[in-house]
């Protein structure tokens, strides 16, 4: 496993380097540019601009700027926010908790419900339930997340008043139950797309597995249907799902941004939006890099988990 891990790590590092170059290019080659926020104000003269450029080191050749910035990334200096001078990483650190809370809880929910729907659809193929589930998944993938969020808020918050419409906790409360109440709606909304993905892929994975020879062998041994389903079929069908989940991190992050906006959830999505609207470029850049790192990490972890879970890979990778 050591060699495999090393190879994947190197691949990821290479991608990370490329990602950093792209992120740098986006910022510096865009017509806006790092100083556009100041120019937008319109009260600065040319020499002020020149002075600022020298101060921020923006008059150096681009490759030098890039290496400087990239070097900083590696050592942990991700720059400082233009707004409040806080280190970018610190700001991200303050907001990552709520986002992770949302992402993990919605993934678990999606796995459970989506998985069940997928298994049922595969076992009762072409039944009414199966058709309904397939169409339902398609629609779920097509609904704009924020619209679903607004609908859910309207129904459960405004009309029925069961659950709060936003934020992570009520001021002054913050108890576990209160936090749970606040988490429920955004979690469900974010889980919509993931559930659809899980149900579709789980169904096709189960269908693949159920037609395999080793299932026939298990039947010929007199194994009970439940045990065949769980111990033989599911154990194999879940393997591709690990890879799917790893690839899904990117979509999940995007969905989290939108969900956090609708529910005023104090996570990374909110931070990003605020920074974008305030033209706080160091934070925007830092977050682009950070989220890309999360995506890479997610896929790396998934590969790792897969190599442990599938004995065929575990052996090969030695």
Task: Give yes or no for residue 212 binding another protein (CB under 8 A).
Answer: yes
Report the chain's C-alpha Rg in angstroms.
24
- In the bound state with another protein, the residue whose beta carbon lies nearer, of 291 and 307, is 291
Residue listed under structure tokens 């409040």: 84
Task: Give yes or no for residue 277 binding another protein (CB under 8 A).
Answer: yes
Q: Give me the least distance between CB of 15 and another protein, in Å please.
A: 5
Q: What angle do CA 241, 243, 246 make, to 5 degrees?
A: 110
Task: Give yes or no for residue 33 binding another protein (CB under 8 A).
Answer: yes
Sign of the Cα pseudo-torsion (192, 197, 199, 202, in order): negative
Q: Give me the least distance between CB of 101 and another protein, in Å please.
A: 18
Task: Give yes or no for residue 133 binding another protein (CB under 8 A).
Answer: no
Q: Give me the least distance between CB of 283 and another protein, in Å please.
A: 11
Task: Give yes or no for residue 151 binding another protein (CB under 8 A).
Answer: yes
Tell me the C-alpha distance between 264 and 277, whole Å: 16
Task: Give yes or no for residue 124 binding another protein (CB under 8 A).
Answer: no
Task: Give yes or no for residue 3 binding another protein (CB under 8 A).
Answer: no
Task: Give yes or no for residue 36 binding another protein (CB under 8 A).
Answer: yes
Q: Is 158 helix (H, G, I), strand (E, B) or coil?
A: helix
Burial 268-294 (b: 16+ CB within 10 A, else e): bbbbbeebeeebbbbbbbbbbbbbbbb
Contacts to another protein from residues 44-103, by CB under 8 A: none
Tell me the C-alpha distance between 204 and 168, whole Å: 37
Task: Give yes or no for residue 111 binding another protein (CB under 8 A).
Answer: no
Task: Give yes or no for residue 161 binding another protein (CB under 8 A).
Answer: no
Sign of the Cα pseudo-torsion (14, 17, 19, 22, in order): negative
Tell me the C-alpha distance between 208 and 99, whole Å: 35
Tell me the C-alpha distance between 125 and 119, whole Å: 10
> Contact positions toward another protein, by CB under 8 A?
14-15, 18-19, 22-23, 26-27, 30-33, 36, 135, 138-139, 141-147, 150-151, 153-154, 158, 212-214, 216-224, 232, 235-236, 239, 250-251, 253-254, 257-258, 261, 272-273, 276-277, 279, 284, 287-288, 291-292, 295-296, 309-312, 315
């Amino acid at each position: 496993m050591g060699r495999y891990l090393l190879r994947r790590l190197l691949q990821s590092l290479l991608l990370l380097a490329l990602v950093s170059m792209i992120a740098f290019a986006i910022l510096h080659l865009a017509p806006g540019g790092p100083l556009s926020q100041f120019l937008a104000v319109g009260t600065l003269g040319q020499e002020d601009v020149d002075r600022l450029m020298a101060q921020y080191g923006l008059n150096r050749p681009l490759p030098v700027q890039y290496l400087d910035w990239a070097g900083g990334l590696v050592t942990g200096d991700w720059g400082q926010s233009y707004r409040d001078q806080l280190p970018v990483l610190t700001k991200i650190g303050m907001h990552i908790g709520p986002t992770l809370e949302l992402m993990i809880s919605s993934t678990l929910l999606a796995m459970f419900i989506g998985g069940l729907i997928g298994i049922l659809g595969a076992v009762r193929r072409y039944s009414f339930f199966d058709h309904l589930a397939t169409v339902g998944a398609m629609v779920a993938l097509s609904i704009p997340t924020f619209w679903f969020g607004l609908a859910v808020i309207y129904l459960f918050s405004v009309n029925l008043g069961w659950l709060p419409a936003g934020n992570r906790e009520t001021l002054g409360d913050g108890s576990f139950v209160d936090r749970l109440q606040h988490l429920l709606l955004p979690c469900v909304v974010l889980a919509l797309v993931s559930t659809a993905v899980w149900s579709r892929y789980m169904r096709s994975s189960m269908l693949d597995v159920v037609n395999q020879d080793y299932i026939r062998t298990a039947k010929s041994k007199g194994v009970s249907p439940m045990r065949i389903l769980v111990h033989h079929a599911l154990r194999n069908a879940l393997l591709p799902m690990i890879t799917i989940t790893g690839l899904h991190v990117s979509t999940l992050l995007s969905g989290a941004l939108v969900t956090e906006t609708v529910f005023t959830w104090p996570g990374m999505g909110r931070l990003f939006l605020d920074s974008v609207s305030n033209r706080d470029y160091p934070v925007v850049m830092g977050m682009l890099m950070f989220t890309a790192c999360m995506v890479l990490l997610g896929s790396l972890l998934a590969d790792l988990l897969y190599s442990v879970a599938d004995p065929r890979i575990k052996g090969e990778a030695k």
